[in-house]
Amino acid sequence: MNKPDKRQGAAMDYAARWWDITNYLGLGRRLRVKTIALAGIGEGDRVLDVGCGTGTLALLEKQTVGPRGYVAGIDLAPKMIARALAKARHAGAEVDFRMASIASLPFPDRSFTVVSSSLMVHHLPTEIKQQGFAEVWRVLRPAGRFLIFDISPAGNFLDAWLRFFLSLPFPSRTEAEYTRDNMAGRIPILLQEAGFEEVHYLEWQRFLGGKIPLAFLVARKPE
């Protein structure tokens, strides 16, 4: 298996063994079902999940699109992809999991109706976000949707706390540095620069009734 190129983002091989535990810590089925609903994924769709991790969302997307649909998942971390492939085999599901970076997607132009991304964008250096969004634009069909669930400013005191945390002197080229784009509200701007239209936040995650800095963002490729 190839070694991931660290310049492409934070390949999370180190987390592959325990990542599925996060299914019980807030990244469970309810959140995945909501992601699929907000992305508007339906029967027969062609869906790509970028930064798919161990494949939990992609496997649920496959159940949603059914046998007429097609789902692929890519991740920079080979150990994440190995786990996703094992889960697909175990479930008898046909999902096309591959090791790849969002900055160089191994699919032809206009292959997908929807691209999803869950908690991956904040792992990317700014230039990889730019290249990655251009790649997502390329592989989407006209009017295709890009649904992102990621760290986003919530407009409350939690933002100030998170910004303070991110301003601490972390080593450069780490997730902390990359997450500053998210908290500065630059993700919608980068999406528009890549050619997307109708870029807007759909809703924020809540905890104890209050918004937390995690939101769903949608962008559309023009017709």
Ligand X SMILES: C[S@@+](CC[C@H](N)C(=O)[O-])C[C@H]1O[C@@H](n2cnc3c(N)ncnc32)[C@H](O)[C@@H]1O
Q: Which residues here bind ligand X, judged by CB under 6 A?
A: 8-12, 27, 50-53, 56-57, 74-77, 80, 101-103, 118-120, 123-124, 128
Q: How far is the CB of 67 from ligand X (least distance, A)?
A: 24
Beta carbons of 99 and 156 less than 8 angstroms apart: no
Segment (H or E) for 70: strand 70-75
Q: Which residues of 202-213 are buried (b: 16+ CB within 10 A; e: fewer)?
A: eebbeeeeebbb
Q: Cβ closer to ligand X: 3 or 68?
A: 3
Q: How far is the CB of 106 from ligand X (least distance, A)?
A: 11
Q: Cβ closer to ligand X: 99 or 219?
A: 99
Beta carbons of 121 and 129 less than 8 angstroms apart: yes
Q: How far is the CB of 113 from ligand X (least distance, A)?
A: 19
Q: Cβ closer to ligand X: 7 or 200?
A: 7
Beta carbons of 57 and 93 less than 8 angstroms apart: no
Q: Cβ closer to ligand X: 53 or 153?
A: 53
Q: How far is the CB of 123 from ligand X (least distance, A)?
A: 4
Q: How far is the CB of 220 from ligand X (least distance, A)?
A: 21
- Look at residue 197 and give its three-state secondary structure: strand
Q: Cβ closer to ligand X: 56 or 152?
A: 56
Q: How crowded is the C-beta side of 79, counted as CA atoms within 13 Å?
A: 10
